[in-house]
Amino acid sequence: MDIQEILSRCDHTLLRPDATSGEIMELCDQGIKYKVASVCIPPCHVAGAKNYAGGSLRICTVIGFPNGYSTARIKAMETVDAIKNGADEIDMVINLAMVKDGCFSDILDEIKSVRSCCKGHILKVIIETCLLTQEEKQILCEIVSNSGADYIKTSTGFSAGGATREDIVLMRRFCSPQVKIKAAGGISTLEDAREFIELGADRLGTSRIVKLVMEEGY
């Protein structure tokens, strides 16, 4: 697998709360140069990034991030606002309290509510695997498969752990074939990236891979 194939699957990410507009523009420049799948940035920067990058780069943003505990109504409103501002892709965090309470039909309703606001834009559902049991992961694979979402995503990168190889294998086993997988959090080497893709990840959420490529002079 060559470097460009890896880059084409990367959501080049900058989600630090203190990220400046200058840093976001630099991220966009890198994303355009290295032909990444998208840049993943905070909602407050979406309009500026869209205006700066024009049609040269897909803009991804996050909803209910990073804790997922805002209400479904607020997540839907965030989604409408993000798309209005120019977001091409939406990465939403589910309500993990609902998971622990076993309110799985409510989680399905929440995802569908956000899906209905996406109006054809890509929706990725972050389930924060590091906080889940194996049984919960399997149930959420089924829920995401039934929700109309495009992707299931491992992690925010802001919790106790990121993507693991075992979780990618589990997701590919228990998700419907039409649901794609995004591995995020802790992907720090090109070998990591290759392995996650070979195991079934269609996208990688990473702040590191483009930097590695730049450092190695590709």
33 is annotated as an active-site residue: no
Does 66 sit behind a cis peptide bond, omega within 30 degrees of 0 on the bond before it? yes
Q: Name the CA radius of gyration of the chain, rounded.
A: 16
91 is annotated as an active-site residue: yes
For 14, half-sphere exposure in the C-beta direction (CA atoms, 13 angstrom radius) is: 22
Locate the DSSP E strands across 38-189.
38-41, 59-63, 89-93, 122-126, 151-153, 180-184
* C-alpha span between 152 and 171 (Å, rounded): 8
* C-alpha span between 68 and 66 (Å, rounded): 6
* C-alpha span between 147 and 29 (Å, rounded): 34
153 is annotated as an active-site residue: yes
* C-alpha span between 35 and 10 (Å, rounded): 9
Assess contact for 48 and 24: CB atoms under 8 A. Answer: yes
Q: Which of 11, 91, 167, 192 is catalytic?
A: 91
Q: Which candidate, 77, 121, 128, 78, places its Cα nearest to that of 107?
A: 128
* Residue 22: strand, helix, or coil: helix
Q: Which of 88, 153, 167, 180 is catalytic?
A: 153
> Which residues have a catalytic role annotated?
91, 153, 182
